[in-house]
Amino acid sequence: MKVELSSEKVKSDFVKKVEELSGQNILSCYQCGKCSAGCPSSYAMDLLPSQVIRMVQLGLQDEIVNSKTVWLCASCLTCSVRCPRGVDIAAIFEALRLVVTRDKDKLNYVEPSEITAEQLEELPQIALISNFRKFTG
Ligand code: SF4
Ligand code: SF4
């Protein structure tokens, strides 16, 4: 994957928003890989959990949004428990899902009452859960 790095991306609103929503200091991660090694869903992911965390550090929003990883996460918390730096990776992944399911004006991007039966069969279950969670705080 070819990525473009810049100080603007590292200091972007995207990084600040993920830190704000998750309550985590993204720079605490030192890329040991223990989160990825213990993730039960990693076999199906196109980016490993530790790679997603690194991409958040670098402000690579487009690359993360276009990845399937946060939608395959089962929110099992194994990664968060294993992290030697105390990073709650699962909370960061939930923040990433919220960034996608909210638009910039904090209006609904996904309206639950408009989801069709066909879409329900295709949507990742975690996307629905994230969408409903945003109404609770
Ligand atoms: S376990 Fe923690 S420190 Fe290690 S790569 Fe994952 S988030 Fe980073
Ligand atoms: S919470 Fe998600 S990313 Fe973390 S170990 Fe579980 S499935 Fe993997």
102 Cα to the center of ligand 1, angstroms: 26
| Centroid of chain to Cα 31 | 16
Q: Please identify, by atom number, the ligand 2 atom nearest to the C-alpha of residue 49.
A: 3
Q: Six-digit token pair at 11? A: 């200091």
Looking at the DSSP assignment, which residues form a beta bridge with residue 108?
A: 102
> In one letter, which amino acid is 11?
K
State pLDDT tens for residues 36-69. 999 999 999 999 999 999 999 999 999 998 899 9
Q: Please identify, by atom number, the ligand 1 atom nearest to the C-alpha of residue 30.
A: 3
| Centroid of chain to Cα 111 | 20
- Specify the pTM: 0.88
Domains of the chain, CATH where assigned: 10-133 (1.10.1060)
